[in-house]
Structure 1
Amino acid sequence: MNLKHTNNALSFLLSLSFLLLGLSFALGANPNTLTATFSFYELDALIGVNTLGLLAGSTMLALVTTTLAAHFKLIKPTAALVLAIVISIVPLLTLFASNRWMAQLGGFPIIGSGQGIIKYFAVVPLYLFLFYKDKLTDKQHVLLNFIPVAMVLLWIGGMKFYEFEAKGIVSLVETSPFMSWLYTVFSVQGASNVIGGFDVLFAVLLGLGLFLNNKKLIIVSGLACLSVFMMTQTFLITATSAFSSSTLLERLGQFVIKDLWYVGNLIVIATLMIFKPTK
């Protein structure tokens, strides 16, 4: 995989994900997400939720436009990077809000409504690689793209060992032709433990492979991590009410579409650690 192919793949994944997210917010889907985010900045009392949705959606659609324009060298990439930073920072700062945490389960690192929020850590490293590759070393790009992968797999994977999370994924797992068999072999909690253990194990192994520069370990663990993020995309097809706008554009869609960013992170890692990039 050369740099051109990698850049094409990243531009596609970023544009597709932000197009769907932008349309989702602009059309007013899942207003609770908007309220939870902008209440942190006390904007929900000043601006109506529909207007906030249009604002958020329009900003994401603007990011799509600038990403594609920069990719085809129609404009400088500065605007795309700035928009990506703003779009990431606005929700990430809300992790400091008390409504993101489950205090009754011990607080940090038990996270509630912020599960989808932490995924925004994946965005800026992709834009830095896409448009500012030469500003950082390959090792720095690998580290910046590995950190969000490890964070989400360790954090959300670790949550699978808790009863509330095990019960929360039942509706997705039991309707999946790829995962429903787990409930014939294990209990609800047992199946969740297997899923969480898989996430945590291969996140650790990927980090070990990168540290040791072991290509075989990077390939095996990287493909395992990739399977996690690709599996979540199948929920858009297999979940109840699949193929509907409510599945694609509302809460489930907003949550799993962000996993496309992690596919991008893994593509960057593979490009720099497994394949020899050629310009």
Structure 2
Amino acid sequence: MSVPTIINDKQSLVIARVLLGLFLLLTAITRFTATDASYFSKQLQAVNIPDLPWLSAFLGVMQLLTLVALIVPRHRLSQAMLYIYAGLATVPLLMMFTHPVWIDALGGFPAIGAGQGLIKYLGIVAVSLFLASHYAGHTQINKLAVKLAVAGILLVMVWIGGMKFTQIEADGIEGLMSTSPLFSWIYSLFSVLHGSYFIGVVELVAVVGILLAPWSDKAYVFGLGVAALTFAATQTFLITLPGYETSLGFPVLTGSGQFIVKDLALLACCIILFNNRKLVGH
């Protein structure tokens, strides 16, 4: 028995556009700061590429153009811009192979450290492709985007969720969780390590539910719901951590803040998948 749809296709598209747009806007603003310019310079140096001082601002402009495309998605130029941005968003995924993103103290791969923010780009690629192909009428690409959305959510929930069972990750998320009223109560029930275990179990439960899509629509919707709530709840960290530069104020985000708002794209993936269940397993 299928779970009834709460929002229709048109509404899900609007929500997905808003969520992706918020991610683009919040991170684009930060692209025009000296902090982000310095970050990109260091990333280029790490792979022996000459410094490109204009790169951060260029990416900011591209993100703002993509934001405009989301406002008028039926225009061909908008669809082209969304495709271009989807292509740009694949670059961070390739950085997984060139940057020190593994935790040496845990034996390296697959213990992921700095790469946690990079793998979230698969969801960003998926949403961008889905919206571009939907409005352009490219059915096959649209189907591919749905599969990428599933992969994007599972990749994050399995990999980062699995890391929750390590002491290093438990210590790393303590500062986030202890400041948020939505998560701090966990530490009144569990230790830092076991609180991390709890979060990891919740994320893996979501994974199991999503993987059961071909056999149980209820389990699939439950898994998507847990994932969606997780991605939505993490946004509280922007304020409670805080995830913005205190010297400049909101909305100029810190590195942690940019990591957090990537979950907006993953939340958009959940919305898209809920309304495209037939392409996943039903």
Give yes or no for TM over 0.5: yes
Where structure 1 has 5 or more consecutive residues not aligned to the other structure, the ranges are 275-279
What is the Cα-based RMSD across aligned positions, in Å?
2.5
Partner of residue 52, structure 2: 47
1:14 aligns with 2:14: no
Structure 1 position 100, deviation (Å): 1.5
1:132 alignment partner in structure 2? 133
Q: Which residue of 1 aligns with 2:223?
A: 221
Shift of residue 248 of structure 1? 5.2
Aligned with residue 67 of structure 2, among 58, 64, 69: 64
Counterpart residue number, 1:179: 183
Match of 1:168 in 2: 172
C-alpha distance after superposition, 1:241-262 (max 9, x if no partner):
7795368511121011100111
| Equivalent-residue separation in structure 1 for 2:126 and 2:243 (angstroms) | 34
What is residue 4 of structure 2 aligned with on the other side?
A: none
For 2:142 and 2:100, locate their aligned partners in 1 and report how far apart those are by CA, in whole Å: 38
Paired residue secondary structure (2:125): helix
Distance in 2 separating the partners of 1:138 and 1:47? 34
1:185-214 per-position Cα deviation (integer Å, ceiling 9, x unaligned): 111101011111111121122111x121x2
Deviation at 1:163, TM superposition (A): 0.9
**Cα distance in 2 for residues equivalent to 1:54 and 1:96:** 25
Q: Is the 8 A contact 1:161 1:192 kept in 2?
A: yes
**Number of residue equivalences:** 268
Q: In the superposition, relative to structure 1, how do residues 106 and 211 fare at CA in structure 2: closer, same or farther (>3 Å)?
A: farther
Give the alignment's TM-score, normalised by structure 1: 0.86
Kept in 2, the 8 Å contact 1:241–1:247? The answer is no
Structure 1 residues 1-279: aligned runs within 5 Å = 1-31=7-37, 33-43=39-49, 45-48=50-53, 51-69=54-72, 71-73=73-75, 75-86=77-88, 88-133=89-134, 134-136=138-140, 140-208=144-212, 210-212=213-215, 214-240=216-242, 244=246, 245=249, 249-273=253-277
- CA gap 1:162/1:229 in 2 versus in 1, 3 angstroms: same
Contact 2:62 2:85 in 1 (8 A): yes
Separation (CA, whole Å) in 2 of partners of 1:11 and 1:226: 16
Structure 2: runs of 5+ lacking an equivalent: 1-6
State whether residues 146 and 207 of structure 1, in contact with CA within 8 Å, keep that contact through their aligned partners in structure 2: no
* CA shift digits 1:25-72 (9 cap, x unpaired): 1123455642453235533x4333xx3321222222222223333x15
Letter of the structure 2 residue corresponding to residue 47 of structure 1: L
Q: Structure 2: how far apart are the matches of 1:129 and 1:223? A: 20
* Separation in 1, partners of 2:183, 2:8: 34
Pair 138,124 (structure 1): closer, same or farther in 2 beyond 3 Å: closer
1:248–1:177 CA distance, 2 compared to 1 (3 A):
farther
Answer yes or no: is the 8 Å Cα contact 2:231–2:264 preserved in 1. Answer: yes
TM-score (norm 2): 0.85
How many Å separate the matches in 1 of 2:43 and 2:186? 35
